Structure 1
Amino acid sequence: MKPMLPSLSFDIPKGKEWLYEVKYDGFRAILYWDKNEIRLESRNGKSLLELFPEIRFFLEKNKKKVAPFLPLTLDGELVFLKNAYKAHFGSIQVRGRMRSEKRIAEKAKSSPCRLLIFDLIEINGKRVMNEMYLARKAQLLSFFEQCDLPVKPDEKSTKLVQMVPFYNTLDEIWEKVTLYDGEGIVAKQKSNKWEEGKRTPSWIKCKNWKYAACFITSYEKSNGYFYVGVYRNQTIIPIGQFIFGIKPDEKKALAQIIKENKTDEDNQFIYVEPAICVEIKYLEIYEEQMREPHFHQFKFDLKPDSCTYDQFIQGQKNLPPDVGITHPNKPLWEDPPIQKIDFIHYLREISPYMLPFLKDRLLTVIRYPHGIFGESFYQKSCPEYAPDFVETRMSDGINYIVCNNLKTLLWLGNQLAFEYHIPFQTINNHKPSEIVFDLDPPSREAFGLAIKAAQYIKEVLDQLELIGFVKTSGNKGLQVYLPLPENTYTFEETRLFTAFIANYLVSKEPESFTIERMKKNRGDRLYVDYIQHAEGKTIIAPYSTRGTPEATVATPLHWEEVNEHLRIVDFQIPTALKRINNLGDPFHQYFAAKEKQKFQPVLDFLKK
């Protein structure tokens, strides 16, 4: 079956007859499911389940729930979901090219993809293609609810088949799509029918375009493409080529100008000096080139020297104007060299992984108004000049910031808040949401003690069938997390466990570990601070940057990385996002583990 396809438009349709869905960048996929077989096919009819075994496993695991609705045909997009509004194109492309079963299995486990369903074609063997969109969507919603599946995309959910909802107005969704750097939206007429293989005007895709100012460098004779570049210092950096979007008469005139002003020519290209500036709209940067570039306009007011690589990189982010980014080129770190705009971009890209840990927590930040080159200070109370989108909560006479949205995180970044420290409980209760062991050696040179302590703790957790996660502190130690079900255990109860682990470590190697409170009596041993896990105390948030000379990040780790080769300085701002794209997020199962944690039997034993 060939899927129905949307038509591209640069103008978003509006009116009562239109509804809106988020458009996700992945592989179009149609799911066929009957009593004997499950198939997931691409728009070209190729099977996808072999490449994405996590989807097959999830579907088979839910056979009983879905059985009453078979035969079933669903239309959707197979994606690597970064947040509720954006899928990561590069990650799904890498998965699609994999052929090693072992490598596929590793990626399926560490970085599972999701199947986002936006339309219903068949249910209970009944074709519903000719029913109106709203009727199909209502039946789809009912199916998802009855099968206990997510009715909106959620990158944290372990339920890998999720529904794409619609929105009644463009304003409801467009700001979120641009803020979270999504691909765009699809506007759909309420009365549309699902028409096989048709590119229809009743589905209109509108993309979240970025804009690049660049200059023309060459013309390809065989196909009419114009190649463009930007300057980095005095070097020309190629960023792509375009042919679409330019009018036929403009294209003809531009080609003639290039021929008349050529500096060189070979069998394939005609070359020119940088002189003609244009503005190109494109979707995103992929492998250092523009994706889906379209000519937007000539920029006769620009000189080639104004078309720079830095502006090209900054322009792709579409940062919200009400955040108010100031002094973007201000240097914050020297080695690696990081400017303020680089730091803001890091916060934006890491936000899907970091914001869940900041959500509903009283936030303490450490600000560096002069970057790493000057003094820092702690800030707990929200300043009076904070914008309206910054949420706050009063506690003990302090009006704390609660960072529940991306805008707040970016605003804090603009305030040069480098470090984000959070308590162990949320604002909704006084009980801990997790147990954290802060393994802080006496110096960076003694980091091996933290590695050894984490390995011993992991052995105990495995024996007790407890689920633990580990991250660097970003400074000189490691931190081991045990997620707990919300509002269940008291700090007094969790201290029974932290004290048990601390005493176990000391008994295991008294020459390496201590619970001695007095620094002068610790010697070169690692202090196991089980008392620090208490109400009101804080810990550095996962993926928070640190105010260290090396621009380190408090980085979640895979347990197999906790070995003698581990080094804190290997986890810096420039490499953090590449690491997630390559290895996945080691904390991606963190919140799902809360309900699976077998902590009660351990606690019952310790209470005896």
Structure 2
Amino acid sequence: MRPMLPTLTFDVPEEKEWLFEAKYDGFRAILHLDKEPRLTSRNDKPLLHIFPEIKDFLEQNKDKFESYLPLTLDGELVFLENAYKAHFGSIQVRGRMRSEKKIQEKAKTAPCRLLIFDILMVKGKKMTDKEYFTRKAELEALFKDCNMPLKPDEKDPRLIQLIPPYRSFNELWEKIVLHDGEGIVAKQLKNKWEEGKRSSLWLKFKNWKYVNCFITAYEKSNGYFYAGVFQGDAVIAIGQFLFGLKPDEKQALFQIIKDNKTDENSQFIYVEPAICVEVKYLEIYEDQMREPHFHQFRFDLKPDACTYEKFIQQQKNLPPEIEITHPDKPLWETPAIQKIDYIHFLREIAPYMLPFLKKRLLTVIRYPHGIFAEPFYQKNCPDYAPDFVETEMSEGINYIVCNNLQTLLWLGNQLAFEYHIPFKTIYSNGPSEIVFDLDPPSRDAFHLAIKAAILIKEVLDQLKLISFVKTSGNKGLQIYIPLQENTYSFDDTRLFTEFIAQYLISKDPDSFTIERLKKNRGGRLYVDYIQHAEGKTIIAPYSARGNKAATVAAPLFWEEVNEKLTMERFQITNLIKRVNSDGDPFSSYFQTKENQPFSPVLDFLKQENKKG
């Protein structure tokens, strides 16, 4: 069975008649489940022997699919990097493996996943003549009944996962760009599944990266143009392109090369760097551009503007409207961090950090000379802010609201290191979470924050409250309890924060205090339950801090909160690697809001307060 295929397009269709799915870079695969499972490629070749982890998972869960057999599902076999991106290089390596031992090793240490987006047969009944909307509803019901993931998740051990549809192209596109995914497939609501057809009822949009480069040669046998960039005085080849050129553009470009050639042989016509073009491509694979397309001539550029350094920067897929000024400016000394390093950190951490900044009044601390000179607070949005920066007026201040990647990177280019947010969104009537800020008197007293956090966690677990913990990035810890929006007041949460503060003091009065005056604290950790209030702010998860160690307000797994914990483990230079390898400890934070059992706890405290 040969799969139905999408058509490449650059125009977004009308949203009413279409649904949108994330596109993943992998191997198209059709799963046939009957007496024995079969997984076949786009060319109808068997795949299960190369991907035994999928076969093992199907065998372990065959009872879940039993009532739906014979069953045929359409999907993509991927090495999932995040919820919206698959790693092309990894799946290519797996596909070429022939050593059974190495295949088994990879299957255990780095399993691939089968992402399903369509259902072609269920209980032996063909579904291909049903409309896409009907097929998708049937597929979702199947996944729910079989207890399979309803969305891609690289940490979920269940290897068969659903690709969900979105009604809004822009909503999904924002996630694709944020997570550096491959693109989107738009599917017409009433389309039928047509075997082996490349259909205009399925449209694919690619998340292109762009590079300014110059032409170095023309290949006579196939008409390809070779592109390069400068690294110092040397020309670095970055690939070749053909697609995207109109016939008249191709002819004109060929004629210019022919008229200005520096050398020619039986295969190539060579030319000095002079003709600058902009090329779009998906990613770099084996030192070459994948799927390069001509985008436009750049007659405004000189060849020396096409550099390898800019090429590397553009691979980070920074939004084109963001211009990074003074990229080599030093911001931290130890570890040594330049401005471009910091911008790349923000770009990589954005999918995890932005959800906490969205819809909140933002206060930043800017460091115009890095940590080497005095910083300043900024609340008001400056007049020179670009149009994509959203704002909200509150008490006479026009606050920035960091709702998108462009704003975050623009703020980074303005050398905003610290991002402080209130405990509520601009649409909330009350707190969106409870936060305990455990701030010891000094860095040397960090053990007190650890002790307090462990004691608080014991109470929260007994109350069945779901909590999260992070470092402050300076010298303390912060514990979060997500709350359902517009449900509680700050007076409500004050009852709880005061209760916890009093509990800590009763457990260990020599370590904790609620004494406001520093001189009276006697080296104890101050439990500031009053700080959790309207108008107060706290450092956002994943924000850098303006200290010499370049530490980050890093989300933690609760098991990490022990005597071995140190602040210096979480720096700008190593945090991305940590998230990529260990995952995001706050990944379920927002889902928790809906089932946080805080109301019974609050009702009990109110009753006790009345008695009191």
- Please list the CA deviations of residues 265-298 of structure 1 after superposition, one character each: whole Å capped at 9, or x if unmatched: xxxxxxx9x9899976431246876545578899
Match of 1:87 in 2: 85
Alignment-mate amino acid for residue 331 of structure 1: K
The separation in 2 between residues aligned to 1:338 and 1:526, in whole angstroms, is 32
- CA spacing shift, 1:529–1:49, aligned 2, 3 Å: farther
Alignment-mate amino acid for residue 525 of structure 1: R
Deviation at 1:539, TM superposition (A): 0.9
- CA spacing shift, 1:574–1:91, aligned 2, 3 Å: farther
- CA spacing shift, 1:92–1:480, aligned 2, 3 Å: farther
Q: Which deviates the most, 569-578 or 529-538?
A: 569-578
- Please list the CA deviations of residues 102-160 of structure 1 after superposition, one character each: whole Å capped at 9, or x if unmatched: 867xx99xxxx79462x4424575423245xxx32355258649988999979899996
Q: Report the 3-state secondary structure (helix = DSSP H, G, I; strand = E; otherwise coil) of the residue aligned with 2:361.
A: coil
Match of 2:221 in 1: none
Match of 1:266 in 2: none
Match of 2:517 in 1: 518
Q: Report the 3-state secondary structure (helix = DSSP H, G, I; strand = E; otherwise coil) of the residue aligned with 2:364.
A: strand
Deviation at 1:556, TM superposition (A): 0.9
The separation in 2 between residues aligned to 1:114 and 1:465, in whole angstroms, is 35
The separation in 1 between residues aligned to 2:403 and 2:16, in whole angstroms, is 33
Contact 2:181 2:207 in 1 (8 A): yes
Deviation at 1:584, TM superposition (A): 0.8
The separation in 1 between residues aligned to 2:602 and 2:14, in whole angstroms, is 59
Contact 1:242 1:295 in 2 (8 A): no
Match of 1:3 in 2: 3
Are residues 1:359 and 2:366 paired? no
- CA spacing shift, 1:530–1:389, aligned 2, 3 Å: same
> Counterparts of 1:146-165 in structure 2 under 5 Å?
161-165=162-166
The separation in 2 between residues aligned to 1:524 and 1:287, in whole angstroms, is 57
Contact 1:49 1:55 in 2 (8 A): no
Alignment-mate amino acid for residue 553 of structure 1: V
Match of 1:372 in 2: 371
- CA spacing shift, 1:277–1:524, aligned 2, 3 Å: farther
The separation in 2 between residues aligned to 1:581 and 1:436, in whole angstroms, is 26
Are residues 1:136 and 2:137 paired? no
Deviation at 1:419, TM superposition (A): 1.4
> Counterparts of 1:77-476 in structure 2 under 5 Å?
77=76, 80=80, 82=82, 86-89=84-87, 93=91, 99=105, 115=115, 117=117, 119-122=118-121, 125-130=124-129, 135-141=131-137, 144=140, 161-165=162-166, 181-186=180-185, 193-198=192-197, 203=202, 205-212=204-211, 281-285=280-284, 290-292=289-291, 308-321=307-320, 323-329=321-327, 331=329, 333-335=331-333, 336-476=335-475
Alignment-mate amino acid for residue 161 of structure 1: L
Match of 1:509 in 2: 508
- Please list the CA deviations of residues 506-555 of structure 1 after superposition, one character each: whole Å capped at 9, or x if unmatched: 34333333222211122332222122112221111111122222332211
Match of 1:222 in 2: none
> Counterparts of 1:15-26 in structure 2 under 5 Å?
21=20, 23-26=22-25
Match of 2:565 in 1: 566
Alignment-mate amino acid for residue 566 of structure 1: L
- Please list the CA deviations of residues 292-346 of structure 1 after superposition, one character each: whole Å capped at 9, or x if unmatched: 557889999999865543211222244434x443514252513334344443333
The separation in 2 between residues aligned to 1:490 and 1:182, in whole angstroms, is 39
Deviation at 1:500, TM superposition (A): 3.2
- CA spacing shift, 1:351–1:300, aligned 2, 3 Å: closer
The separation in 2 between residues aligned to 1:294 and 1:556, in whole angstroms, is 40
- Please list the CA deviations of residues 347-400 of structure 1 after superposition, one character each: whole Å capped at 9, or x if unmatched: 333222112112222222222233333322222233344344333333333332
Q: Report the 3-state secondary structure (helix = DSSP H, G, I; strand = E; otherwise coil) of the residue aligned with 1:121.
A: strand
- CA spacing shift, 1:17–1:295, aligned 2, 3 Å: same
The separation in 1 between residues aligned to 2:12 and 2:535, in whole angstroms, is 50
Are residues 1:544 and 2:522 paired? no
- CA spacing shift, 1:286–1:546, aligned 2, 3 Å: farther
The separation in 2 between residues aligned to 1:584 and 1:15, in whole angstroms, is 36
- CA spacing shift, 1:386–1:293, aligned 2, 3 Å: closer
Contact 1:116 1:161 in 2 (8 A): yes
Match of 1:483 in 2: 482
The separation in 1 between residues aligned to 2:475 and 2:234, in whole angstroms, is 40
The separation in 1 between residues aligned to 2:139 and 2:569, in whole angstroms, is 47
5+ residue gaps in structure 2? 95-102, 218-223
Alignment-mate amino acid for residue 485 of structure 2: E
Contact 2:178 2:350 in 1 (8 A): no
- CA spacing shift, 1:464–1:201, aligned 2, 3 Å: closer
The separation in 1 between residues aligned to 2:58 and 2:449, in whole angstroms, is 39
Deviation at 1:438, TM superposition (A): 1.1
The separation in 2 between residues aligned to 1:207 and 1:152, in whole angstroms, is 24
- CA spacing shift, 1:124–1:403, aligned 2, 3 Å: farther
- CA spacing shift, 1:194–1:467, aligned 2, 3 Å: same
The separation in 2 between residues aligned to 1:498 and 1:50, in whole angstroms, is 51
5+ residue gaps in structure 1? 219-224, 262-271
- CA spacing shift, 1:175–1:587, aligned 2, 3 Å: closer
Alignment-mate amino acid for residue 440 of structure 1: D
Contact 1:276 1:300 in 2 (8 A): no
Contact 1:353 1:543 in 2 (8 A): yes
Contact 1:156 1:588 in 2 (8 A): no
Alignment-mate amino acid for residue 140 of structure 1: K
Deviation at 1:81, TM superposition (A): 7.2
Deviation at 1:423, TM superposition (A): 1.3
Contact 2:22 2:184 in 1 (8 A): yes
The separation in 2 between residues aligned to 1:359 and 1:33, in whole angstroms, is 43
Contact 1:129 1:195 in 2 (8 A): yes
Taking structure 1 as the reference length, what is the TM-score of the superposition?
Answer: 0.74
The separation in 2 between residues aligned to 1:487 and 1:459, in whole angstroms, is 27
Deviation at 1:8, TM superposition (A): 5.6
Taking structure 2 as the reference length, what is the TM-score of the superposition?
Answer: 0.74
